[in-house]
Homo-oligomer: A and B are copies of this chain.
Amino acid sequence: MNEFDLVLPSEVDVREVGMRDGLQLEAPVPLAAKLEMLEALVATGVRRIEATSFVSPKAVPALADADQVAAELARWPGVHWSALVANERGAVRAVDAGVADLEYVVSAADGHSRANAGRSTAEAVAAVGEIARLAHAAGGSLEVIIATAWDCPFDGRTPIARTVDVARAAVTAGADQLCLGDTIGTTTPLRVVQMLDAVRRACPGIPLGVHFHDTRGTGQANALAAVQAGVTQLDASIGGLGGCPFAPGASGNIATEELVYMLEESGVRTGLDLDALLVAARATERAVGHELPSSLYRAGGRSVPRALDAR
């Protein structure tokens, strides 16, 4: 066993996605409870929050109040807000509501693209240019999130070349930033770094984030591998909210408090406060009315030995 140095960046930039990816499959939460969640999330120190998505209220009733949520965001001027859109119509709505930093999902796998968005990957890519134009005209930016970047529940493994092609096409069409999504929580550390390497080679200079799910217990390990590979933009959801409706009991997104704990205790600054995250998880649990999957939250902040807290 040779000596080994774990090389990590000095800081990372966490994006909180609980308000969108976390809530989208929940029973609709009243606006007042969402604002309590937001208040608690802002208090954690997080600098980037995915506020909502501008999609069909029929498809996602939990986020039917996107305009009302957007109207409240000016309360918290220090935060960088973004919103997800599913098409050009959504982009117009978002910009009109005052959110110009957009996220747009393209599924790298056709099977998931058709099931999720009703069109092929190529058709989804074709919309990037117009959505980017709308964002840029409003003074904002466009991040393309490549869903099923590693695996698809219908098509199986996504070839690296396929995800790379989507990344390259998105950037060519005007995307300012990319994010790779492990939509069904199946990827593993080696595949994470292989994919990151391939996408970076294809899209040099384009900021690249990661979006992991913890469905099979590998989410934090994948995040660690990504951070070792130099990624500094990571999505996470308060309390691990965001489970797949087709896998009851399975964990959803990686939990923000677990990511922050792992990184901060490994010397990587996140700017987020662990105690405030546990308060925000409590507000989230109240809002959704059921237990959250996060192990750290369930273990309880206070069971972290005092001497650790006092560090």
Contacts and interface: CB of A to CB of B under 8 A. Distances in A.
A153 interface: yes
B217 A295 contact: yes
A247 B300 contact: yes
Contacts of A189: 6, 224, 262, 266
Given A217-B262, A249-B298, A193 B4 contact: yes
Nearest to A208: B1
A307 B6 contact: no
Most B Cβ at <10 Å: residue of A155, A187, A193, A220:
A220
A49 B154 CA distance: 37
Interface in A224-276: 224-225, 228-231, 240, 246-251, 254-255, 258, 261-263, 265-267
Given A3-B197, A294-B217, A306-B156, A188 B266 contact: yes
Contacts of A263: 188
A296 interface: yes
Nearest to A296: B216
Interface in A170-225: 184-191, 193, 196-197, 200, 208, 214-218, 220-221, 223-225
B266 A191 contact: yes
A305 interface: yes
Contact of A217 (B214, B230, B306): B214
Given A152-B305, A155-B307, A262-B189, A1 B229 contact: yes
A155 B310 CA distance: 12
Contacts of A291: 249
A190 B304 contact: no
A179 to B, nearest CB: 14
A220 B265 CA distance: 15
Given A155-B307, A157-B308, A262 B188 contact: yes
Given A224-B189, A224-B224, A298-B249, A262 B308 contact: no
Nearest to A261: B216
B299 A216 contact: yes
A301 B298 CA distance: 25
A305 B258 contact: no
A305 B228 contact: no
A110 interface: no
A192 B254 CA distance: 21
A225 to B, nearest CB: 6
A151 interface: yes
Q: Which 4 A-B pairs have the closest CB atoms?
A: A156-B307, A1-B230, A217-B258, A190-B266
28 contacts: A1-B196, A1-B208, A4-B228, A151-B305, A156-B305, A156-B307, A157-B307, A157-B308, A187-B265, A188-B265, A189-B224, A190-B267, A191-B266, A214-B295, A216-B258, A216-B295, A217-B240, A217-B254, A217-B262, A217-B295, A217-B296, A218-B220, A218-B258, A221-B221, A221-B223, A247-B299, A249-B291, A251-B295
Given A216-B299, A250-B300, 15 more contacts: A1-B200, A4-B196, A4-B197, A4-B230, A6-B193, A153-B303, A157-B308, A157-B311, A189-B262, A189-B266, A215-B296, A216-B295, A217-B258, A221-B221, A247-B300
